């Protein structure tokens, strides 16, 4: 396994890995509902506790939990999200790749976290994340974590800190389903988009 601070290499398209966790202390800035109100306003806008779930999300989480420790599909990170959405009766794609090729769209975007010199900028709030949402990463770096291209499934979130507990596959070279911590408030490079599963078209 690579060191926690080292970039992760050797990924095919759709691959991604994550390593490590860190304390959540950096200042947050929002470009949407919380624009201009600073940390205190952001935390007040994010209700304390674990976010409420939704029916499709519940089924996505149940699938991931049932396959914890197992290889799903080809063992790639996106394969877990695809199979979980399919099993839940959700659409497996929410549209064409965006903003670039390989940036998978898994449903309706509810949050965008982007690194900036002053700390992560949010389009949306942490309180909008729900269990079963899908996170898509691009060139994401944290203090002790690096994921150049990765997909993970939200298990739960603390909206006051932005700490997400997630299911992931091909994380740290482990090509089976594991649980990981994702400290969104510690993003120092790249972006993470969070998508809400949508019903499969009839």
Helix and strand numbers, DSSP H then E, in the chain: 3, 8
> How much is the pLDDT for 172?
86
Contact 168, 92 (CB under 8 A): no
> How much is the pLDDT for 143?
82
> How much is the pLDDT for 8?
31
Q: Classify strands 163-168 and 29-30 as parallel, antiparallel or unpaired.
A: unpaired
CA distance 131 to 144: 24
Position 7 pLDDT exceeds 80: no
C-alpha distances in Å from residue 95, one per residue of 25, 38, 54, 104: 35, 33, 21, 8
* pLDDT tens per residue across span 32-56: 333 333 333 334 333 444 456 689 9
Question: Residues of 154-181 as b/e, b for ≥16 C-beta within 10 angstroms?
Answer: bbebbbbbbbbbbbbbbbbebbbbbebe
Q: Which of 59-63, 67-71, 144-148 has the lowest mean pLDDT?
A: 144-148
Output the pTM of the full model.
0.76
Position 115 pLDDT exceeds 60: yes
* pLDDT tens per residue across span 175-198: 999 999 999 999 999 999 999 999
CA distance 178 to 137: 17
pLDDT-derived band at 21, boundaries 50, 70, 90? very low
pLDDT above 70 covers a percentage of the chain that reads 74
Position 57 pLDDT exceeds 50: yes
pLDDT-derived band at 10, boundaries 50, 70, 90? very low
pLDDT-derived band at 102, boundaries 50, 70, 90? very high
Q: Considering only CA atoms, which of 120, 164, 124 is closest in space to residue 27?
A: 120
Contact 94, 200 (CB under 8 A): no
User: Domain residues of the chain, as ranges?
Assistant: 29-190
> How much is the pLDDT for 11?
35
Only one residue has tokens 């691959």, namely: 15
> How much is the pLDDT for 52?
62
Position 145 pLDDT exceeds 60: yes
């Amino acid at each position: 396994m690579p060191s926690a601070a080292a970039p992760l290499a050797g990924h095919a398209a759709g691959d991604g890995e994550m390593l490590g966790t860190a304390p959540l202390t950096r200042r947050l800035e929002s470009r949407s509902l919380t624009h201009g109100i600073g940390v205190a306003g952001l935390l007040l806008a994010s209700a304390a506790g674990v976010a409420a779930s939704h029916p499709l999300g519940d089924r996505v989480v149940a699938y991931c939990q049932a396959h914890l420790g197992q290889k799903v599909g080809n063992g790639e990170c996106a394969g877990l999200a695809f199979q979980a959405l399919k099993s839940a009766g959700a659409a497996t794609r929410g549209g064409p790749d965006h903003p670039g090729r390989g940036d998978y769209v898994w449903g309706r975007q509810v949050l965008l976290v982007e690194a900036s010199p002053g700390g992560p900028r949010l389009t949306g709030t942490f309180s909008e994340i729900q269990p079963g949402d899908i996170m898509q990463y691009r060139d994401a770096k944290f203090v002790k974590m690096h994921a150049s291209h990765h997909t993970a499934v939200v298990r739960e979130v603390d909206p006051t800190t932005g700490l997400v507990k997630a299911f992931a596959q091909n994380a740290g070279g482990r090509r089976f389903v594991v649980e990981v911590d994702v400290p969104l408030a510690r993003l120092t490079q790249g972006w993470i988009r969070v998508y809400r599963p949508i019903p499969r078209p009839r």
